[in-house]
Structure 1
Amino acid sequence: MSLNQPERFVDTSKWNIPTEIDLADPGFYMPHKIDLLISTQEFFDLLLNGKISLDPGLPCLVNTALGWIVGEKVSEIPQSQIVTCNMARSTELPDALERFWLIEEFDSHHNCFTVEEEDCERHYLANTKFLTSGRVQVCLPFKENPHKLGKSFQIAKSRFLQNERRLSRNPLIREM
């Protein structure tokens, strides 16, 4: 977790930032959490041609594949100001992402579904409704007749009510 960057609001009213450029972070002057940390190796790969100096003593704009970024030279830092340095290093992330995409990859031209998968697809197509609220409504699929579940409703309801009573006696646990 990091502190907000920048630590305080930056007055950019006297900066003459061209309106026709797309900034990578249009709200760079407002304190907020960091969205993304980029290693120097990837950072230099993102740089494109283009640098705009605003005025002497003001930051410059640098063109990147993500949009224009604002950078400045720090001449002096007041002693009372906190200096924050954030670093994360992970060599596992690219491998994890590659494994994720291999697992999630779906070949729509490969139609070797099992009987259960075909039943599931038919159920989805027959019982899916897209509501005007933007939600999706799907009936629960059952392999067998749901009446074979027996009389589990009363048992489940009893356990639910028992939990409700227990939680009502302890507000802290209920809140958690």
Structure 2
Amino acid sequence: MPGPIDMLLGVEIYKQIFNGRKFSLSEGFPSAYASIFGWVLMGRAPSKSYGSHQAVSMPCTVDLNSILTKFWEVEEVPTKVIQDPDDLLCEKHFVETHSRDSFDRFIVRLPFKPGYLLLGSTFDSALKRFCGLERKLSKDSRLKELYMEFMRDYLNAGHMRPISPNVTSNRHYIPHHGMLKDSSSTTTRRAVFEPSAPGSSGVSLNQLLMAGPKLQQCTSATCNI
């Protein structure tokens, strides 16, 4: 049956198209040749009006659209994400340990890695960093006031609370310092906590915790592949 021509292929790629398989029809009819596009009919075909003439036809045994679809599926990045075993363990930890307080806020235990090392003492290094922070604040009254205001907001919001001086075991300290950014349109001052600071054992809190899977949506502005 007549149809539109999609493309013209030169004879120089003949051997790349046909694989040698052939199926001969009755005498006076075209033969079928196996090709990478499907079966191709080639040869002489009878005609009542003009007698026998050379005829070439290339009907494909499969739809070209389905072939193109499969091609794009091969090229696409797999949609099924293979999760890391550590990420699955971190999610399991969250499911088993998280809860909500009376203000409907989440409470989650720190996801320590299995067989993690001891952090050691963190008091001395945190105290040293805090003394350095006090010296810095004593030289900048504006930063000191803003920093104290930020800490009061933390207390009022319930993000932290005073600790009992009688309890000294199983206690870790995280160094922190103040940041002031006048150009910011949202938060001009904030406290930066540093869980990457190592304890007396030489490892930090960050090194002892499972990171877990990425939760944010990946966009061209936030992710690089």
TM beyond 0.5: no
Highest Rg: 1 or 2? 2
Q: How high is the TM-score relative to the length of structure 2?
A: 0.26
Q: How high is the TM-score relative to the length of structure 1?
A: 0.32
Higher RCO (C-alpha under 8 Å, 6+ residues apart): 2
